Amino acid sequence: MEIENILVVDDEEAIREVVSTMLESKGYHCAVAHNGRVAQDQIKKATPDLILSDMIMPEMDGIKLLEWVRQYDPDVPVIMVTAIHDISTALEAIRRGAYDYILKPFEKDQLFLGVGRALQHRRLVIDNRNYQIDLEKKVRDRTERLETALDQLERSYDDTLEALGSALDLKDAETEGHCQRVTAFCISIAKTMPVPDQYLPILARAAFLHDIGKMAIPDKILRKPGPLDDAEKVIMRTHCEIGYNTLTRVPFLREAADIVLAHHEFFDGTGYPRGLRGEQVPLAARIISIPNTFDAMLSDWPGGGIQFARG
Ligand SMILES: [Fe+2]
Ligand SMILES: [Fe+2]
């Protein structure tokens, strides 16, 4: 452990000598000052770990020095040294922030006990503060790391979705870019509505993946140039449930899965697969159906208007 520095402030040279000799015999390092003013100068040059100060001194007394130290460095404990008849002043010093007082004439053990306690108190205060600072830093670092990890996770989610979307584009080249366009329109529409911000990523994922179930639709139906017959329509329509079953297994896509299932429901109840009506159709599914239909109308997919039913 480092040697602790104690500043002994007393106008009587004999007392300064006796006290510092006693303390140095115990392994402390002592400096002395003969009044508060001189003590101030020394403290400014090198802050001690503890101050032992007489009460009555010329130029600047113990109480004034104490008040200054409390402002200058509240971590430095001050022990007031006082004569037995002056105990009320010592108590006043305690009220003003002195750590303790010691009565003159000194008893060696009493001095060591008081000094030991004050220094231990200071160490505890400093250790506690360092611990607090360290803890706050750790919390800040970990929060930062967590946020970075969450950002990366979010990005890798989106990369995964991109990959899924591209896989569908590969299979159904005729409708390439459909999911991206529907997503962009959905976000634009949602932003003009009272849709909470936290709903937007769910809407975006659902819009992007709304036709993912088409991965399981046979190519001869998916790419058929003409209108689908009734049996083919039945198969084509299963893409809603297939998409739902695929996505619902992924925890962060569960809400999007419900929307995917409902993306061909119509407000008037004539949609599929469940024939939901009005507000039974999730809001995001109602939003998706607008650009989904619109994009099909603008695209030159084979089959013309029939694509409304296919999209
Ligand atoms: Fe669809
Ligand atoms: Fe679609």
Per-residue pLDDT tens digits for 99-150: 999 988 778 898 999 999 999 999 999 999 999 999 999 999 999 999 999 8
Distance 243 CA to ligand 1 centre (A): 9
Which ligand minimizes its atom distance to the CA of 208?
A: 2
Which ligand minimizes its atom distance to the CA of 179?
A: 2
Pairwise pLDDT comparison (99 vs 84), residue with the higher score:
99
Which ligand minimizes its atom distance to the CA of 293?
A: 2
Residue 196, pLDDT above cutoff 90: no
Distance 276 CA to ligand 1 centre (A): 16
pLDDT-based confidence at 176, cuts 50/70/90? confident
Q: Which candidate, 36, 25, 29, 24, places its Cα nearest to that of 81?
A: 36
Q: What is the pLDDT of residue 311?
A: 53
284-300: burial string, b at 16+ Cβ within 10 Å, e else? bbbbbbebbeebbeeee
Q: Which residues surround ligand 1, an ion (CB under 5 A)?
A: 211
Distance 260 CA to ligand 2 centre (A): 10
Residue 35, pLDDT above cutoff 60: yes
Q: What is the pLDDT of residue 300?
A: 64
Q: What is the pLDDT of residue 14?
A: 92
Distance 116 CA to ligand 2 centre (A): 79
Per-residue pLDDT averaged across 237-247, rounded? 95
pTM for the model stands at: 0.57
Q: What is the pLDDT of residue 128?
A: 93
Strand stretches in the chain, DSSP E: 5-9, 29-33, 50-54, 78-83, 100-104
Residue 50, pLDDT above cutoff 80: yes
Q: What is the pLDDT of residue 88?
A: 85
Lowest mean pLDDT: which of 152-166, 226-240, 279-293, 296-310? 296-310
- State the catalytic residues: 214
Distance 282 CA to ligand 1 centre (A): 15
Residue 306, pLDDT above cutoff 60: no
Residue 182, pLDDT above cutoff 90: yes
Q: For the chain, what is the largest distance between any 2 Cα atoms, rounded to a whole number of angstroms? A: 115
Which ligand minimizes its atom distance to the CA of 264?
A: 1
Backbone angles phi, psi at 103, to 5 degrees: -90, 140
Q: What is the mean pLDDT of the chain?
A: 90
Q: What is the pLDDT of residue 304?
A: 40
Q: Which residues surround ligand 2, an ion (CB under 5 A)?
A: 211, 292, 311
Residue 303, pLDDT above cutoff 60: no
Instruction: List all residues 6 or more positions away from 64 whose beta carbon is below 8 Å from its beta carbon.
Output: 36
The tens digit of pLDDT for each residue in 211-235 reads 999 999 999 998 888 889 999 999 9
Contact 45, 77 (CB under 8 A): no
Distance 220 CA to ligand 2 centre (A): 18
Neighbours of 181 (CB within 10 A): 18
